[in-house]
A and B are shown apart, each in its own frame.
Chain A
Amino acid sequence: MVVQTIGAFLAVISFSLILELPKKHVILAGGIGAASWLVYLLVHASSGSVIAAAFLSSLLVALTSHIFARIFKAPVTVFLVAGILPSVPGTSIYRSVSYVIANNPDLSSHYLVETLQVSGAIAMAIFIMDSLFRLGQKR
Chain B
Amino acid sequence: MNDKLLVETAVLAGEIMLVSGAEIYRVENTIDHILRKAGRNTAEAIVFSTGIFASLNDPAIEAITVARRVTGRSTNLNRVYLVNDVSRMLCEDRMTVEEAYVRLTDIRDSVQYGRRLKDIGVMGVAVFFTLLLGGGARDCLAAAVTGISLATAMEVSARIRLNDFCANAFCAFLIAIATLFMGQWLIPGIKSDIIIIGAIMPLVPGVIFTTAIRDTLNGDYASGTARIMEAVVIALAVAAGVGAGMGLFQWLTGGLSW
Chain A interface (Cβ < 8 Å from any Cβ of B): 3-4, 6-8, 10-11, 13-23, 25, 37, 73-75, 77-78, 80-81, 84-86, 88, 90-91, 93-98, 100-102, 119, 122-123, 126-127, 130-131
Q: In the bound complex, do residue A7 and residue B76 qualify as a contact, i.e. CB atoms below 8 Å apart?
A: no
- Chain B: residues with Cβ within 8 Å of the partner, total of 60
Which residues of chain B are within 8 angstroms of A80 by Cβ–Cβ distance?
Answer: 210
Nearest A-chain residue to B231, judged by Cβ: A119
A22-B125 contact in complex given A88-B204, A126-B214, C-beta closer than 8 Å: no
Is the CB–CB distance between B118 and A17 below 8 Å? yes
- Residues of A close to B22: CB separation below 8 A: 75, 77
In the complex, chain A residues whose CB is within 8 Å of the CB of B79: 20
CA of A94 to CA of B130, assembled, Å: 14
Please pick, from B76, B123, B214, B258, the residue contacting A98 in the complex, using a CB distance under 8 A: B258
Q: In the docked arrangement, what's the CA distance between A104 and B183, Å?
A: 22
B81→A75 contact, CB < 8 A: yes
Known: A23-B112, A94-B197, A97-B243. A4 touches B81 (CB 8 A): no
Report yes or no: B78 in contact with A21, Cβ–Cβ below 8 A. Answer: yes
Q: Are A17 and B78 in contact (CB under 8 A)?
A: no
Beta-carbon nearest neighbor of A82 in chain B: B77
> B46 to chain A: closest CB distance in Å?
16
A4-B194 Cα distance, complex, nearest whole Å: 13
Asked if B148 CB lies within 8 Å of chain A CBs, one says no
User: A78, B210: Cβ atoms under 8 Å?
Assistant: no
Q: Are A18 and B121 in contact (CB under 8 A)?
A: yes
Establish whether residues B80 and A75, one from each chain, have CB atoms under 8 Å apart when the complex forms: yes
Q: Tell me whether B246 and A98 are in contact (CB under 8 A).
A: yes
B213 touches A90 (CB 8 A): no
Among the 9-residue stretches B3-11, B54-62, B97-105, B234-242, the one with 4 or more Cβ atoms under 8 Å from chain A is B234-242
Are A20 and B111 interface neighbours, CB within 8 A? yes
* B113 x A20 contact (CB < 8 A): yes
Residues 112-164 (chain B) with a chain A CB within 8 angstroms: 112-113, 117-118, 120-125, 127-134
Query: Are A78 and B121 neighbours in the complex by a CB distance under 8 Å?
Result: no
Decide: A17 and B124 in contact? CB cutoff 8 A.
yes
Q: Are A130 and B217 neighbours in the complex by a CB distance under 8 Å?
A: yes
Q: Are A78 and B206 in contact (CB under 8 A)?
A: no
Q: Does B201 contact A (CB under 8 A)?
A: yes
B18 at the interface (CB under 8 A from A): no
Nearest-CB residue, chain B, relative to A5: B132
> Within 8 Å of chain A (Cβ to Cβ): is B96?
no
**A20-B113, A77-B80 given as contacts; is B207 within 8 A of A8 (CB)?**
no
In the assembled complex, the Cα of A130 lies from the Cα of B118 at a distance in Å of 31
A102–B256 CA distance with the chains assembled, in angstroms: 9
CA distance A41 to B12 in the complex (A): 43
With a cutoff of 8 Å between Cβ atoms, the chain B residues found around residue A91 in the complex are 133, 197
Q: How far is the CA of A102 from the CA of B210 in the complex (A)?
A: 31
Can you name 16 extra interface pairs (CB under 8 A) apart from A19-B207, A126-B213? A7-B128, A7-B130, A11-B125, A15-B202, A17-B117, A18-B118, A18-B121, A75-B22, A75-B81, A77-B26, A81-B75, A86-B132, A88-B206, A88-B209, A98-B193, A98-B246
